[in-house]
Structure 1
Amino acid sequence: MQNIVVFGASGQLGQCLKKVSAEKNISSIIFPPETEANILDTDAISKVFEQYKPAYVINCAAYTAVDKAEDDVEMARKINKTGAANLAQACKQYNAVLVHTSTDFVFKGDKPYPLIETDAADPISVYGLTKLEGEQDVVGILPQHFIIRTSWLYSEYGNNFVKTMLKLGAERDELKIIADQVGTPTYAIDLAAAILDIITSGSEEFGIYHYSNEGVTSWYDFAKGIFDLSATQVKAYPIRTSEYPTRATRPAFSVMDKAKIKTTFNIQIPYWRDSLITCLERLSPPAP
């Protein structure tokens, strides 16, 4: 198989791609360290392309500190917009396909139905805006792209909501969790598998796709699932967004419709709670 190069390899999704590619016996996937593959360094990008001559590039690099981005606009835009454009330009020059990950935060979140790829993007945060700008640059530069929007990403790697809830649940007697923001968790292992399935299919059905796990839930219900399935003894109380103000505004309803990716690539998507069980099992230390 032709080479696949992953940028942002040390992040949560990058580490999941390492695990899944090993399980799928995909040996032609390369994970260069960020010191050699900085998406803001065009010379470094060119060296990576010259060395590995990838047919596919997966961009996992992103500025994802949603609240911090409100005050760090320049850096968020550099990574999420300029970095994406740099990779798209290199892919165009070297005739490679770009798989670029994006987010449900490109939507305002005021529609009461699952969002399809052609619904109008209208971000309400700097993070969402810069990710949308990155999408637009990729589309404008490179026809051979798969842009995959995802949501509420978690896994056994990196920092994420599941690991935070397990930590806080073990430390505290009670927690207050937002119940009026609704979406779908995504197990990053499942997303990694979907990305690799798209690449290995050899499909040229380029464009924007939505991927999250199946189902609909709130942050409160997601947390309750984490606590119940892990037998974490903590009382969880639902609160409104207005009771927990944050620097960045989040979409109130960002459930995404996955019909396009399922139909195009014949991908089976697990239910969010089933994937959560798998992740919690992998996070639990083995019994002595």
Structure 2
Amino acid sequence: MESRYGGRGRCLVRTTTEPEARRDTVDVVDDQRGSRPGAPTSPSGSPDLRPRTGRDVSGVPHATSSGETTWYDLAREVFLLGADPDRVHPVGGAAFVRSAPRPAYSALAHGRRQSLGLPPLRDRRSALHEALPRIRKESPA
């Protein structure tokens, strides 16, 4: 599942808001912590880095919003912005069948971006607050 909360397509915020009106509770993984890309600040690649840094840059530096959280805490934040967060229940990752194992900790460092002189991306909460009204509007009722 894509974890950014901007643009179109699947993301945890959409996945959380869609059953909000249809189900009494939502079970969300609480034993996996990581970085959550925000919106719409994540670059699609590195071609635009040369003008910003003045040098050739190989690879793509990590582009996540600052801060880290669990999927459960992110879902509660979504509910806090429009529903009762007590409807979000924590569960272990083993409760969901996945095609690949998920690490317990997957927060990304921002050192490469800093070494290139790139500004940090904004905090994940401000990106969520900006994106959520649009996501709610676009989600089917």
- The question of a shared fold, defined as TM-score above 0.5 by the shorter chain, is answered with yes
Pairwise CA RMSD: 2.4
2:41 to 185, 190, 205: 190
The separation in 2 between residues aligned to 1:238 and 1:273, in whole angstroms, is 20
Instruction: Summarize the Cα distance change of 1:241–1:283 in structure 2 as closer, same or farther, 3 Å threshold.
Output: closer
Q: Using a 3 Å threshold, how does the CA distance of structure 1 residues 224 and 208 change in structure 2: closer, same or farther?
A: same
1:78-120: CA deviations, max 9, x gaps? Answer: xxxxxxxxxxxxxxxxxxxxxxxxxxxxxxxxxxxxxxxxxxx
Q: 1:96-115 to 2 correspondence within 5 Å?
A: none
Identical pairs, percent: 24
Q: Which has the higher strand share?
A: 1
With CA pairs under 8 Å and 6+ residues apart, which has the higher RCO, 1 or 2?
2
How high is the TM-score relative to the length of structure 1? 0.42
Q: Does 1:203 align with 2:69?
A: no
Post-superposition offset of 1:209 = 2.0
Aligned-pair CA distance for 1:186: 0.6
Paired amino acid for 2:109: D
Larger Rg: 1
In the TM superposition, structure 1's runs of 4+ consecutive aligned residues that sit over 4 Å from their partners are 193-197
2:4 corresponds to 1:166: no
Please give the TM-score of this superposition, normalised by the length of structure 2: 0.81
Q: 1:264 to 1:226 in 2, by over 3 A?
A: same
The 1:228–1:257 alpha-carbon spacing in structure 2 relative to 1, beyond 3 Å, is: same
The one-letter code matched in structure 2 to 1:280 is L
Runs of at least 5 residues in structure 2 that lack an aligned partner in the other structure: none
Measured in 1, the distance between the counterparts of 2:60 and 2:111 equals: 12
2:121 to 257, 269, 272: 269
**Number of aligned residues:** 135
Identify the match of residue 32 of structure 2 among 163, 181, 184. 181
**8 Å contact kept, 1:194–1:267:** no
**Cα distance, 1:199 vs structure 2:** 4.7
Give the number of the structure whose residues are more often helix, by fraction. Answer: 1
CA shift, 1:163, in A, is 0.9
Query: Hey, what does 2:130 align to over in structure 1?
Result: 278
Find out whether 1:222 has 2:74 as its counterpart.
Answer: yes
8 Å CA contact retained: 2:30, 2:93: yes
